[in-house]
Amino acid sequence: MALNSIITNYGAQVALQALNKTSDALAATQKRISTGLRVADGRDDGAAFAVAERVRGDIGAATSANEQLGGVKGLLDVTSAALQNVSTSLQALKALAVKIGDGNITADQRTQYQAQALEITNNIRSFINDAGYNSKNLINAGGTNANIIIYGSGDNYTISAYNGITNIHTVVGTANAYTSTTAKAALTAGGAITTALSNTLTRLNSYGGAANYIDRQINFNKSKIDALEAGMGALVDADLAKESAKLQSLQIRQQLGTQALGIANQAPQSLLSLFR
């Protein structure tokens, strides 16, 4: 190969190839720094990118599952708050029934106590009907079940509705008409107030257990999301400290490569001196 040629400048070709490699490496480093990712797309590492995309899908699904569970948790929290108020009201009604059952009170006193009993039962009905969350109510007369599909296993978890109007309010709905005899009967083991209170506490226990289950599932999904994100980070995240140092090195190499190419391009000019 003729080294002194104006047609083929071998030195410039070598310098240009080196400069192109440096420019490609610099572009890749700048991409990693700007995105924070070692693998930002399939061109960087097809296999790693495919794995990362599957992991991102799992993270998105677990996040959506927690959003669904959060809605159910809100419903259970509202329902439990309503039932706790119902329980408190029934305790007050129980104390009031003891007073109504006293055969020594006057008719006027009994009338006053009965009026208080009416207010309490009205409160109970309101608590039940107002226990709604996002247009869903578990304990009113038209309550519907809350169905959940557990992410990962695909299992169905059902939180059953309960007709609190029929099983709680209606049971004590005639408290405003209690006589001494019926008030005493309402306080017995199978009496109206005892039954309504037992039904209320049973539902509180049931929904409390469901709320604990939802909390555990949410916490598990959060832990799983954290683990998935950590694993994906190890797979695709860029080491920015390393990339920063590499960037400075490549910038210097690019400057030197540009200078080397400029020198190589001037080489044919020296041949002109031979013809003077």
Residue 201 in 3-state DSSP? Answer: helix
Fold of the domain spanning 64-235: f41 fragment of flagellin, N-terminal domain (1.20.1330)
Please state the domain extents for the chain: 10-37+240-275, 64-235
The arithmetic mean of pLDDT across residues 88-113, rounded, is 95
CA–CA gap between residue 142 and residue 96 (Å, rounded) = 30
158-196 pLDDT, tens digit each: 999 999 999 999 999 999 999 999 999 999 999 999 999
Nearest alpha carbon to residue 127 among 182, 75, 60, 81: 81
Please say if the pLDDT value at position 247 is more than 60. yes
The arithmetic mean of pLDDT across residues 55-75, rounded, is 93
Q: What are the b/e assignments for 93-109, b being 16+ CB within 10 Å?
A: bbebbeebbeeeeeeee
**Token couple for 33:** 């720094």
- Please, which pLDDT band fits residue 276 given cuts at 50, 70 and 90? low
